[in-house]
Amino acid sequence: MDCNSRRLPYGIIPLLSLLAGYASAAPAALDRYAGSFSGSGSIVEGPNATSHQVRCHFTILQQGATSLSLQGICRAYLIISRSISANLAWDPRSGQVSGTYTGSRVGTARLTGRQAGMDFDLTIAWPQPLYGDTTAQMKVASLDPGRFRIVVTDRIGVDGPTRATTDLTLLRR
């Protein structure tokens, strides 16, 4: 099989974007969360939602007091890689988070949601159907100051079950 025909799952990129959202939750301490991160975990991909192990490395840069920019790469099987980028903004008055990310084969996705305590709950809006619909849910949870967990859930198939399509633990490098 041609290496270019294999794709990393679409949910991994917005998950990383969500981490960027977590970082912007505390503008006064934004530099604490900006930096380099590594992540590993599982993703599912394709019409049969096949599970794969993945490793990611990325950098989050502060853009003003409440915005972040993320750039990085995720790899599966040491030969398949996908470049990612995201921009995310947080409104401290309303707790609303919004942004975009690129890197998906279906195009640029929109992220919207809100801060819930130290965590973030987001909706991913795909520009084209993925697994039978155009939305998925993302949650970022702080495990400790240098470690986060990102989980994307989506319905697999039009009438199928909802399950985690991305589950990553991210660590400061």
> Along the 173 residues of the chain, how does pLDDT read in single tens digits?
444 444 545 555 444 444 444 444 444 334 556 789 899 988 887 667 788 899 999 888 888 888 888 888 889 887 778 787 888 888 878 889 899 877 777 888 999 998 776 677 889 999 998 888 899 998 878 787 788 888 889 888 888 889 998 888 889 98
DSSP secondary structure string, 114-165?
A: EEETTEEEEEEEEEEEETTEEEEEEEEEEEETTEEEEEEEEESSTTS-EEEE
Nearest to 36 by CA among 19, 12, 18, 11: 19
Reported pTM: 0.78
Rg (CA), the chain: 15
- Spell out the domains of the chain, with CATH numbers in brackets: 3-172 (2.40.128.20)
Which DSSP letter does residue 28 get? Answer: G
Task: Quickly count: other Cβ atoms within 10 Å of residue 94's Cβ.
Answer: 9
What are the residues whose beta carbons fall under 8 Å from the beta carbon of 38, sequence distance 6 or more?
55, 56, 57, 170, 171, 173
Buried b (16+ CB within 10 A) or exposed e, 143-159: eeeeebbbbbbbbbeee
